[in-house]
Amino acid sequence: MAEIILHHYALSPFSEKIRRVLAYKGVPWRAVEQPIMMPKPELVPLTGGNRRIPAMQVGADVYCDTACIARRIEQLHPERPVIPQAAAGTVAMIEDWADHRLFMFAVPPTILALFDDLPPGFIEDRRAMSPGFSREAIEAAAPHALEQALHAFDQLDAQLARSPYLLGADFTLADAAAYHPVRFMQNAPELAAHVAARPALADWCGRIAGFGEGKVTPLSGAEALAAATAATPADVDGGVPADAPFAAGDTVSIVADDYGPETTVGRLVRMQANEVVVLREDAAVGEVAVHYPRAGYVVSRA
């Protein structure tokens, strides 16, 4: 089986969600360090447009969005499951809350606290993804966002006082999703104090951090592109059901419904309840299959 290549950067909260899953499972992976801002010339040839981090590559199959990435990892490496079958729906609902709601509460206070350490051009770069993103907007949003994040911390703390992980005795993807916004806030000492003040939440963070960095070895962006060029898409079965809004072979475009206007355009090969897959040709890497979750993405005829 081709190796798992994660395109990430250290500070990326969503990458941390996936790094925790890989570390928990003990799955070996290769890490490509991507820039924190555009341009990303060793990522975009793989995704066809999407700049968001992380992206996972397995040969010439490219998985965008952590919801899609986590489910493919679980399929490839079912040992030490993080999406137990009997709780798959609950996991997905907590994941959606954490990735979209808790994360959006974590961003303003954390960015404000770290503002002076941000690289030059960061705000302008992120404004291209989220119109209106500015220091003034962050300052205006931060008090309410922090209050909401602390309310979520209280809920997590109360639950974790009753069970080591959110769904019981074992770590699941629900924990990975709820952990990454909390971990992101811990980068600011004044926000980390809010975690430390909640004993069950702090212990849970310590347990998840304690998985360690996992079996990771670095890979250059050029090597990752070469791996895609050398491979052919392997995860493209499943087809498109007759009642789907598109037919196999239709050219469609895929774009996130929250932030980041970049689109991926390709020929539809799979459209299932949870996943949409297109094939596209790229001058740099040849044919690649690009995978997205259905949830959170708009698919339209290109």
Ligand X SMILES: N[C@@H](CCC(=O)N[C@@H](CS)C(=O)NCC(=O)O)C(=O)O
Residues lying near ligand X in the complex (CB under 6 A): 12-14, 36, 51-53, 65-67, 99
Least CB distance from residue 162 to ligand X, whole Å? Answer: 28
Q: Are strands 275-282 and 61-64 parallel, antiparallel or unpaired?
A: unpaired
* Phi/psi of residue 127, nearest 5 degrees: -65, -30
Residue 222: CB minimum distance to ligand X, A? 20
Residue 198 or 293 having the CB closest to ligand X: 293
- Rounded Cα–Cα distance for residues 181 and 13 (Å): 6
Closer Cβ to ligand X, 67 or 268, answer by number:
67
Distance, in Å, from the CA atom of 170 to the CA atom of 82, rounded to the nearest integer, reads 8
State how far the Cα of 262 lies from the Cα of 152, in Å rounded to an integer: 31
Q: How far is the CB of 158 from ligand X (least distance, A)?
A: 26
CB–CB of 45/225 below 8 Å? yes
CB of 204 to ligand X, least distance (A): 21
Minimal distance, residue 292 CB to ligand X, in Å: 10
What is the pairing mode between strands 275-282 and 286-293?
Answer: antiparallel
Q: Which is nearer to ligand X, 31 or 240 (CB)?
A: 31
CB of 117 to ligand X, least distance (A): 16
